[in-house]
A and B are shown apart, each in its own frame.
Chain A
């Protein structure tokens, strides 16, 4: 039975308004960048089919509004998450300082059982912008991630598609690992919520 279940990996993307959450997701999923993305209101998600070690999985990336007050309604989205991506803008020091806030907010809202082992990935976005405007040093970010339990860290440019696939590959792998653990934990009751039933290669059967 389980071999026919398609694994759905739920990933929440968080971070200050304007750091490029929507752009990162669009670049990863649709391979495009636009200056016309508006501020996200409410929540939305994009999905992409991936192959991890010969397993087909669907990654579902959740995008939410960056202003804090809108997070209070976001509980519904956080439930069942397998990985959380924290994004900041390397030219915006505040957005980096807020990473801790977003991390805690997520752990509380998502009601994560084992906060210490839950996978996070940190992305420092907008590295395409001139170096002179950069306000968060690579070293500083690396250090923070190390202190928080060796969180994987990537510097990305959604605009120029730098490091996007590499970063999301780690996101997907870590989410997959987490999903396996979740699955083992809530084997029966919750399996419906976290798996899509897809009858793989069936050619159309009539029963």
Chain B
């Protein structure tokens, strides 16, 4: 990237020998030169709104000796980088290729011969290649083969000048918009007057199409490559499009075949926008990615220049909102990229058959090699219907005992979840409050005794408030609980301000103005009493909040919370060892399953996966709304595949965002911000399906590794290497030979369905809180 000021102060790139000569059939190119095929002067780059900043130059097509049409260069050369003689050559070429040639083409056969006798077959223009490919500010040059598409905007009331944007296929370039100042261009003015002379009001050509300099560019370009107008986006011309490009942009003929029943018209138009988006998204994203290093305002330039459907998308509030938290161009673009991608994917799901989705998943997960998943396994990975009350009841016999296996129940819940009418009972089983083999009668008894137990823990602190007021630790804990309860999920109706503040305890630091929040506080204080070593730690309130939401009963919520905390305790330990272990395990999992991403994260200094801290600590509570977090936890509660399935959920999130992270994010803070901002944007069900597929893939990989399926191949490989190096002086080191991969204990623990319990060390009385 060069600086604007550097360009203006530096001398012209070359003081070249400019040759204009009569053409010969064999075409002799002076060394180091290119032949100008077409040129147009008074084409401008507008770096700012200020006229003074405008940069005038020549848009040219030129060809090197012995190259194909695909190699023809499309270049923009600022005037200031040219010498007076060079400008003259360009101008001459401009007039010839845009006016004279057209005039000549209109001559009758006799006149043409006369003309040629007088003037030869036509002047040819050669310039030094270095002029064309100069690297001054705003100059650019790229072969036709590198052009993906060109957008054309004809002049109209709002746009005095017509303009074009060249979209390169390369990821690195964002080319400036080129404005055709027709009123300054001699060749355009002449051509216009020619046209006006010939103007035929009855012509089939659309008279509304105003002629501008860009038209001449397209006319000339068409001689050398296929220029396909997209019917979806009128202003877009595809250059040498592939069949995929054509499909995505649905040129006229494709659309016409695609007839849709009248009743579906609304959807159909949506679909075509979606088709456009799907096809165009990477092009657009890539063009956006290219400006990521530039200033913010350039990003908005690109957005303003975006095709209409994209603009519409950008006007949606959720995408607009991204602007508010703008951090750096990269994060912004990454988010933007994702929102587009997701929009396209969401629509795709609606319109494309399930098979395709499955194929997409397949190919994304790269399931083609030895560790491929079978179709049967894939079939199972689809989410199923939730368990209804009728279905749930059918699992039990007359005595209320389970009549199918626990595994079968869990399988159903894992894949479908339960309906809200079943949830409160199902969770008692899932969390282990009810034994799976209990009868209805036994369960009633359990509930009764739990109620008594709860009351006894409750009274342990409630009856001793006066005494506890002198206990610094207890006071700290209570304050901690009050602070967190008071700001717990205040956005959902259950926990919104409701009624008077509590006046029951004058020693309260914070008066809670919602009865349910007061219940949360009571339960947490009771848990603080129940698990004295752990006590209350930040984040627990988030966990209880969901359980309480389901039961809205202090006693049952408490016991469900107690059971839930058995497995969650390791997240809250003072030494954070449980969290560290999980992050370390996840780290190993990523390196095994997503090696490319792992390498990238390493480069970003993000291999500690710290951005998963919040997600892991409270099981994605901050990333999803209640309506999603409940079924998600329900899924985790089953331990159907693994008691640490949540780590595969993390893996699914990473795999979903792998490409975007790799392509757009390069720093620790960028990755963290990106991951944090995924909150409330993710599709829980999609991620669950991915998580399952990833788990199955992982299990298969471990299986292959453990059974030494690859050992023979590995040994052959090693033997070959050794054989090839036989007799050579430098024998390969043992460590440089291919080795079998060993599954670590951490990774192996992921195959276990047993809950990992890690408890807080004994708390010494009188020790300060935390």
Chain A interface residues toward B at CB < 8 A: 4, 17-18, 30, 35-39, 41-47, 58, 60, 65-70, 72-73, 76, 94, 193, 196-207
Which residue of B1, B538, B676 contacts A39 across the interface (Cβ within 8 Å)? B538
Q: Is the CB of B324 within 8 A of A43?
A: no
Given A197-B293, A202-B4, A206-B138, A72:B575 Cβ within 8 A: yes
Q: Which of B198-206, B311-319, B377-385, B488-496 faces chain A?
A: B488-496
Given A73-B576, A198-B295, A206-B173, A30:B139 Cβ within 8 A: no
Residues from chain A with a CB closer than 8 A to the CB of B614 are: 41-42
Residues from chain B with a CB closer than 8 A to the CB of A67 are: 480, 537-538, 770
CA separation between A76 and B605, bound complex, in Å? 9
CA separation between A198 and B297, bound complex, in Å? 12
Q: Is the CB of A207 within 8 A of B135?
A: yes
CA separation between A47 and B326, bound complex, in Å? 8
Residues from chain A with a CB closer than 8 A to the CB of B489 are: 38
Residues from chain A with a CB closer than 8 A to the CB of B541 are: 39
Q: Is the CB of B3 within 8 A of A4?
A: yes
Q: Is the CB of B328 within 8 A of A196?
A: yes
Q: Which of B42-50, B227-235, B646-654 faces chain A?
A: B42-50
Distance to closest chain B CB from A192 (angstroms): 9
Q: Is the CB of B539 within 8 A of A41?
A: yes
Residues from chain B with a CB closer than 8 A to the CB of A205 are: 1-2, 4, 137-138, 140, 176
Given A17-B483, A72-B576, A204:B294 Cβ within 8 A: yes
Does B608 sit within 8 A of A, measured CB to CB? yes
CA separation between A47 and B611, bound complex, in Å? 18
8 A Cβ contacts from B44-76 to A = 45-48, 53, 76
8 A Cβ contacts from B466-502 to A = 476, 480, 483-484, 487-491
Q: Is the CB of B298 within 8 A of A203?
A: yes
Best-buried of B3, B489, B622 by chain A (most CB within 10 Å): B3
Q: Which 5 A-B pairs have the closest CB atoms?
A: A203-B47, A206-B140, A42-B614, A18-B483, A42-B613
Q: Is the CB of B617 within 8 A of A201?
A: no
Residues from chain A with a CB closer than 8 A to the CB of B176 are: 203-206
Distance to closest chain A CB from B577 (angstroms): 10
Task: Name the residue of chain B whose CB is nearest to the CB of A4.
Answer: B3
Q: List, sorted by A's number, 11 A–B pairs whose CB atoms are closer than 8 Å.
A: A43-B672, A69-B537, A73-B579, A73-B610, A200-B295, A202-B1, A203-B4, A203-B176, A204-B176, A205-B137, A205-B140
8 A Cβ contacts from B565-600 to A = 572-576, 579-580
Task: Name the residue of chain A whose CB is nearest to the CB of B472.
Answer: A94
Residues from chain A with a CB closer than 8 A to the CB of B622 are: 38, 41
Residues from chain B with a CB closer than 8 A to the CB of A66 are: 538
Distance to closest chain B CB from A31 (angstroms): 11
Q: Is the CB of A201 within 8 A of B490?
A: no
Does B195 sit within 8 A of A, measured CB to CB? no
Residues from chain A with a CB closer than 8 A to the CB of B298 are: 202-204
Which residue of B177, B291, B480, B676 contacts A17 across the interface (Cβ within 8 Å)? B480
| Per-residue A-contact encoding for B201-245, CB less than 8 Å = 1, 0 else | 000000000000000000000000000000000000000000000
Distance to closest chain B CB from A194 (angstroms): 11
Q: How many residues of B contact A (CB 8 A)?
A: 69
Residues from chain A with a CB closer than 8 A to the CB of B175 are: 204, 206
Residues from chain A with a CB closer than 8 A to the CB of B476 are: 94
Residues from chain B with a CB closer than 8 A to the CB of A17 are: 480, 483-484, 538
Which residue of B291, B539, B770 contacts A204 across the interface (Cβ within 8 Å)? B291
Residues from chain B with a CB closer than 8 A to the CB of A193 are: 667
Dominant SS at the B interface?
loop
Q: Is the CB of A207 within 8 A of B610?
A: no
Task: Name the residue of chain A whose CB is nearest to the CB of B476.
Answer: A94
| Per-residue A-contact encoding for B273-314, CB less than 8 Å = 1, 0 else | 000000000000000000101110010010000000000000
Distance to closest chain A CB from B569 (angstroms): 13
Does B452 sit within 8 A of A, measured CB to CB? no
Which residue of B135, B173, B542, B610 contacts A42 across the interface (Cβ within 8 Å)? B610
| Per-residue A-contact encoding for B539-580, CB less than 8 Å = 1, 0 else | 101100000000000000000000000000000111110011
Residues from chain A with a CB closer than 8 A to the CB of B480 are: 17, 67
Distance to closest chain B CB from A55 (angstroms): 16
Q: Is the CB of B488 within 8 A of A38?
A: yes
Residues from chain A with a CB closer than 8 A to the CB of B539 are: 39, 41
CA separation between A204 and B576, bound complex, in Å? 48
Does B389 sit within 8 A of A, measured CB to CB? no
CA separation between A132 and B326, bound complex, in Å? 40
Residues from chain B with a CB closer than 8 A to the CB of A94 are: 476
Residues from chain A with a CB closer than 8 A to the CB of B45 are: 203-204
Does B267 sit within 8 A of A, measured CB to CB? no
CA separation between A43 and B669, bound complex, in Å? 10
CA separation between A36 and B613, bound complex, in Å? 21
Given A39-B484, A69-B576, A70-B538, A207:B295 Cβ within 8 A: no
CA separation between A58 and B667, bound complex, in Å? 16
Distance to closest chain A CB from B672 (angstroms): 7
Distance to closest chain B CB from A136 (angstroms): 15
Residues from chain A with a CB closer than 8 A to the CB of B667 are: 193
Residues from chain A with a CB closer than 8 A to the CB of B668 are: 76
Q: Is the CB of A41 within 8 A of B613?
A: yes
Residues from chain A with a CB closer than 8 A to the CB of B617 are: 41-42
| Per-residue A-contact encoding for B112-138, CB less than 8 Å = 1, 0 else | 000000000000000000000001011
Q: Is the CB of A76 within 8 A of B610?
A: yes
Q: Is the CB of A202 within 8 A of B3?
A: yes
**Known contacts A201-B295, A204-B294; 9 further A-B pairs (Cβ under 8 A):** A18-B487, A41-B614, A42-B610, A199-B295, A200-B295, A203-B46, A203-B53, A206-B174, A207-B140
